[in-house]
Structure 1
Amino acid sequence: KNFFLYPVELELNFYFDNDFADIFEVRGYKREKRGKFYPVEVKKDKIRFGYKGLDNITRETLISFTPFPSDIVSTKVNYKIKLNPKESYTLYLTIQCLIEKQSLMESSYKEALYYIKRRVKDWENKSCKIYTSNEQFNQWLKRSWADIVMLTTSTEYGIYPYAGIPWFNTIFGRDGIITALECLWINPFIAKGTLAFLAHHQAKEFNPEQDAEPGKIVHEIRKGELARTGEIPYAKYYGSVDTTPLFVILASKYFERTGDIDFIKSIWENIVLAVSWIDNYGDVDRDGFVEYFPSKKGLSNKGWKDSEDSIFYEDGTLVKPPIALVEVQGYVYKAKKEASKLARILGEKELALKWEKSAEKIKELIEEKFWCDEINCFVLALDGDKRQCKVRTSNAGHLLFSKAITPSKARILASLFFEKHFFSGWGIRTLSSLEIRYNPLSYHNGSVWPHDNALIAFGFSLYGFKEETIKILKALFEASTFFKLRRIPELFCGFERRPNEGPTHYPVACHPQAWSSGAVFLILQGCLGLSIEKNEIIFKHPMLPHFLEELWIKDLILKKGKVDLHLKRHGDDVVVNIIKKEGEVKIFIEK
């Protein structure tokens, strides 16, 4: 817009290029050769770049301009603009990425914006809305949910949350499941789509290149050039040991939330196969624990901390495989408990009893084999000789989420995680600062991961440690005020909190990252002691932090009804009021 009282003339020049680099090339992967670049195609209102990869797939980038430019020469676009006093000029630049054989309608900026707004509106109609008396907290909630919506993609099996931008903008099994769990009370359709997709892509046979075994749930799916050519093994890769038990947990929790027995019946075979994988292939040496060996082409570590240096002994040396991670055993315990519930509902009594007994045995083994008096904590892992890796990590906190340990041990962990060597002031570190490999700048050895904190915080609430849950919520909320757009990233550095300074950014973290965006919703659920079972809402000892006086939940959809709620804090107490109720909804409050 020209704010002067006289006419002005100006030129705008745009320069474009495209190298069609695969995301792994951006990360530093070196290739011996590449595909064929097509000559740049120029028209009066658009530029088209083209590339045929070594996978024989043609990829194009189409850049369109509205209104027409004054001139386009090769990859330079020129606008000569004349503006009278107070006159405005709007330029639309639309970039579309086209892949051969994939249907994608060429659309204008306005058309694309319209479809996005319509999609967001559809999401609003299917999700409950949360508001509080704290506008800064509301901004964090709004940004987090907007990022969940942005990252969630439609598949032929339902919606699925992609893991994160830019590095993990694709299907990840573990990330999708945990994101769905975090958001389950707000929108169960994420869980349904995630379960349906993963059930369809469950491994049916052995494939060492993919780390695939019958019943295993997929870790990662990529469709870039390097994946299609086999230069990297991640086209369809099954190299994680925790995704399969997490799949079973999500299935049971989805049923608990919705009562959708027809869907559970449709994936029951997949659930049974997943539990069978745990027993037949996950437990490598038949000692009752799920272990893994490093892959030759894929990942060397197969839990959520999959860096090469993240699993080690107390002296810093790397662990001898097969490796049994502590949190994975908790997931397995939880998976068998949840599978047993579903089996009983479906009339599979013998299977239910078998899984129930197995779960209780695993719980005993976790206490017996993973607890270490020397560090007053559950150890990181057991090695191939069943030797303990006596390292204090956040992994042990996931046992709280799985409710796989006794209340007395849970109390010890709750105290331990808030000691100075673990708690940075912004959250619980992945690794205690007392450990030899501690590095607050590292990816997994001393940083703070919001989703990690969310699972631990929710675990605190399951044992009744609401004050600890609130401490985590407060820390991450305050951290969010220092990040652009209130967007909590994948991780941030684990330096100790200093007055008048925010957390130190991890330079190449994904933001947004789905399970980081979902963290606030799971922690808030833990604070409220909120559980939903079909048409019943239960608040168990609800608490709110001092910075949240009031909280509103609008359009909370249940199996046969919908409800609006208002929660108000009075000291340490929370009063729940029903604003509006439709259908057969029951609400219980335990104090």
Structure 2
Amino acid sequence: MDDAYSTQLTAGESVEASGLEQLMALKEGDTFLVADGWGDMRGGADGLFAGDTRALSRWVMSVGQLRPSRLSSGVSQDNVFFSCHTTNRPLPPMGGRSAPAGVLHIERRRFLWGRRMFERVQMTNHGVEDVLLPLSFEFGADFADIFQVRGTPRPRRGTIHPPEMDGRRVTFRYTGLDAVERRSCLAFSEPPARLTATRADFMFSLPKGRQVELFVECGVDSCEAPDPTRWRLNAIQARLAMRAKRRRGATVRGPRSPRFNDWLDQSRADMALLTTDLPTGPYPYAGTPWFSTPFGRDGIIAAWQMLWLDPSLAKGVLTYLASRQATETSAFQDSQPGKIMHETRGGEMSALGEVPFGLYYGGVDTTCLFIALAGAYASRTADLDLIRRLWPNLIAAADWMRDYGDSNGDGLIDYQRGADTGLSNQGWKDSEDSIFHADGRFPKGPVALLEVQGYAFAAWRALADLGERLHDDRAPEWRMRAEQVRALVEEKYWMEDQGFYAVALDGDGQPCRAIASNAGHLLFTGLPSAERARKVTKRLLSAEFRTGWGIRTLELGQARYNPMSYHNGSVWPHDTAMAAAGMANYGERAAVAEILSEIFDAATHFHLRLPELFCGFARTPGEPPIAYPVACLPQAWAAGSVFLMLQAALGLSIDAWTGAIDMADPVLPDGLERLLIRDLTVGDATVDLAIQRVDGRSVVIPRKARGQISVRTLR
């Protein structure tokens, strides 16, 4: 993610001090909410956000002036509901005896729908006497921009107007420096006994054995009167919408592996949570809480991971990115005509140009990946209608690769940020210290990253294939360009003494000889020769890279290696998955299945939800993987990793042009004896595939084929 605002602990800061270890997130559309394990928001790195603006910055519940004792809390597996179960501490005397601790059950349950938070507080008296229950909420709305929340200073802000109170309702207003008035409104189903601009106090009479409920809504722009009916109807809509997203495309199940199924379900639910249905189609937002917005690279890779199961994501991503393609040159935005966006934001600071991320193009790889995904999507679906509609965008992207992406004319795609406000490193490893020479020196620009050349190779080949189908006479030229890129990479990046590729070339054309996982992405594109791919695979599978939980981003012993760093020795599930898929391209199956098992083992220690990254320490028997304290969770390309690795282990490829599904030497991971893929669609045909282990080999059995489709097992 962006080094301009990636979250990392500073020296000496503890996990507890960071305040992030308990944060739980909900998301719906462009609205998301971050709160602690009690459901409280205290104005730190939390709150209710809409349009990259914090609409509710403080929301803290107390019982008898004290925080209740938490029993449990969490987010439902479908990611719709947050709930927290608490009990009371001793209550102050209210005209009689004090209620003892532990007699009241207080449940907070909330969800998001229609740009608003719905919350229900359910209070049950399990004691032997009637209770007077004092319940209070502190609240506030600072309308901070998301970049301000993440630490970017602002010398000036707009005007926060005094809250307006109306019985059981409080309205907050802020007029920004962009002259836009932003509103939010907080409403209660019962009138508080006392309501101020920052606090609501209630006094509930709770007879023994009885239950009372309080409903709360916080909406952006407007307020409705909350009640049980509104709660129920909106909760049904939220759950049905999430269920519909989870059911898109084919499904995968391990019939006799409950935990593996739970991992698949959680990963699918996380992808559904992060997917927002835009006018251009579904788009997987990068991650919550701080990257809940369309990112170019992240969206493309997440859609590619899911392509074999659900092509609709790729269609939505391609269509959206085409609509945001750059048409002019801007150093501030790092844009040139034809370039595909890196990120878009909607807050006040972006609108004012205080940060460049309103529509930012500082990703050197996204344009190449855009073309490559279009080619992969067409092979998966044979949807030439979409390709024809996107053809001007694909040609413009190719023109950017030719005219702007290669700034020094050496035939390689490179980058050097246009303004100091932009990203200094513009590949997926975009932290400031992620690209360096073998001795740790940072390279002078422009920098030509290894994996980006692989993406360019894949893009030129995809464009040539599509051009041939569309009878474009430029197709031979594009195929020739792909081979030119291949030759340049093999000549300039290969280090014979290391049996590996350099991570980048610097501005002088000298290789940055650091040994990094970027070479796994090169395998993913199919650029290396078979002999060199075998050498790279062997090294990626060595103990210097492989932790037992996945593959490190940087080899053990390299300069700047740090297993606790963001990019220099940590494990990123999507990076491991792309390396595994790359190995599978060259026939490696058994090791890919082993890596899939290792990542599954890691997932079991993260409640079956893979984080953005975790630390790259070697696996120790009986001990869990070590978390990276402020990793995004969930994140789209982490959630999609299991599906890409599963496809790689099965050797599964789909050619919609011929209506064929090929399974090349499939291997099931250890502990998984059977796998069932349901409703795998190719064109107008659908088939179920049962894969099971028989005499040590994985056998594929097609079932319920509907339409013309062929399934071939290749050995």
Map 1:453-532 to 2 at 5 A.
453-483=576-606, 485-532=607-654
Structure 2 residue aligned with 1:544, among 668, 685, 696?
668
* 1:196 to partner: Cα distance: 0.5
* 1:249 to partner: Cα distance: 0.9
* 1:565 to partner: Cα distance: 2.4
Does the CA contact (< 8 Å) of 1:215 and 1:274 recur in 2?
Answer: yes
Summarize the Cα distance change of 1:13–1:299 in structure 2 as closer, same or farther, 3 Å threshold: same
- Within 2, Cα distance between the matches of 1:105 and 1:450? 42
**Aligned residue type for 2:462:** E
- Within 2, Cα distance between the matches of 1:17 and 1:445? 40
Structure 2 residue aligned with 1:211, among 334, 337, 343?
334
Residue 134 of structure 2 is aligned to residue 11 of structure 1: yes
Residue in 2 aligned with 1:390? Answer: 513
Summarize the Cα distance change of 1:589–1:513 in structure 2 as closer, same or farther, 3 Å threshold: same
Deviations 1:484-520 (A, max 9, x none): x421111111122222221221122111111111111
Map 1:213-362 to 2 at 5 A.
213-296=336-419, 297-348=421-472, 350-362=473-485
* 1:30 to partner: Cα distance: 1.0
Residue in 1 aligned with 2:290? Answer: 167
* 1:273 to partner: Cα distance: 1.2
Does the CA contact (< 8 Å) of 2:187 and 2:225 recur in 1?
Answer: no
Deviations 1:241-286 (A, max 9, x none): 1000100111111111111111110001111111111111111111
Structure 1's unaligned 5+ residue stretches are none
- Within 1, Cα distance between the matches of 2:225 and 2:673? 48
Deviations 1:58-100 (A, max 9, x none): 222322333544443332222322333432233333333349x
Residue in 1 aligned with 2:301? Answer: 178
Deviations 1:515-537 (A, max 9, x none): 11111111101111111222322
Higher relative contact order (CA 8 A, sep 6+): 1
SS in 1 for 2:317: helix
Structure 1 residue aligned with 2:550, among 407, 410, 427?
427
More strand by share: 2
SS in 2 for 1:336: helix
SS in 1 for 2:290: coil
499-508 or 574-583: which moved more?
A: 574-583
Summarize the Cα distance change of 1:106–1:474 in structure 2 as closer, same or farther, 3 Å threshold: farther
Residue in 2 aligned with 1:577? Answer: 701
Does the CA contact (< 8 Å) of 1:327 and 1:399 recur in 2?
Answer: yes
Residue in 2 aligned with 1:44? Answer: 167
SS in 2 for 1:227: helix
- Within 2, Cα distance between the matches of 1:460 and 1:42? 62
SS in 2 for 1:437: coil
**Aligned residue type for 1:369:** K
- Within 2, Cα distance between the matches of 1:42 and 1:14? 15
- Within 2, Cα distance between the matches of 1:145 and 1:437? 35
Map 1:51-200 to 2 at 5 A.
51-98=174-221, 108-132=230-254, 133-200=256-323
- Within 2, Cα distance between the matches of 1:457 and 1:42? 57
SS in 1 for 2:394: helix
79-88 or 285-294: which moved more?
A: 79-88
Summarize the Cα distance change of 1:330–1:112 in structure 2 as closer, same or farther, 3 Å threshold: same
**Aligned residue type for 2:621:** P
Q: TM-score, normalised by structure 1?
A: 0.95
Does the CA contact (< 8 Å) of 2:499 and 2:532 recur in 1?
Answer: no
Deviations 1:330-351 (A, max 9, x none): 1101111111110111111x31
Q: TM-score, normalised by structure 2?
A: 0.79
Residue 673 of structure 2 is aligned to residue 554 of structure 1: no
Residue in 1 aligned with 2:9? Answer: none
SS in 2 for 1:60: strand
SS in 2 for 1:255: helix
Does the CA contact (< 8 Å) of 1:566 and 1:578 recur in 2?
Answer: yes
SS in 1 for 2:437: coil
**Aligned residue type for 2:302:** T
Summarize the Cα distance change of 1:151–1:106 in structure 2 as closer, same or farther, 3 Å threshold: farther
- Within 2, Cα distance between the matches of 1:124 and 1:155? 16
* 1:571 to partner: Cα distance: 4.7
SS in 2 for 1:171: coil
Structure 1 residue aligned with 2:567, among 431, 444, 451?
444
Summarize the Cα distance change of 1:564–1:43 in structure 2 as closer, same or farther, 3 Å threshold: farther
More helix by share: 1
Does the CA contact (< 8 Å) of 1:458 and 1:522 recur in 2?
Answer: yes
- Within 2, Cα distance between the matches of 1:328 and 1:33? 39
- Within 2, Cα distance between the matches of 1:257 and 1:90? 51
**Aligned residue type for 1:129:** T
Summarize the Cα distance change of 1:156–1:7 in structure 2 as closer, same or farther, 3 Å threshold: same
Does the CA contact (< 8 Å) of 1:44 and 1:71 recur in 2?
Answer: no
Summarize the Cα distance change of 1:402–1:55 in structure 2 as closer, same or farther, 3 Å threshold: same
Deviations 1:401-453 (A, max 9, x none): 00000111111111111222211221111111211101111111111111111
SS in 1 for 2:478: helix
- Within 1, Cα distance between the matches of 2:312 and 2:179? 36
Moved over 6 A (4+): 104-107
* 1:124 to partner: Cα distance: 4.2
CA RMSD of aligned residues (A): 1.8
Does the CA contact (< 8 Å) of 1:414 and 1:468 recur in 2?
Answer: no
- Within 2, Cα distance between the matches of 1:97 and 1:158? 24
**Aligned residue type for 1:225:** E
- Percentage identity across paired residues of the two chains: 43
Does the CA contact (< 8 Å) of 1:47 and 1:62 recur in 2?
Answer: yes
Aligned length: 585
Deviations 1:432-486 (A, max 9, x none): 1211101111111111111111111111111111122112211211111111x42
Structure 2's unaligned 5+ residue stretches are 1-123
- Within 2, Cα distance between the matches of 1:270 and 1:524? 32
SS in 2 for 1:497: coil
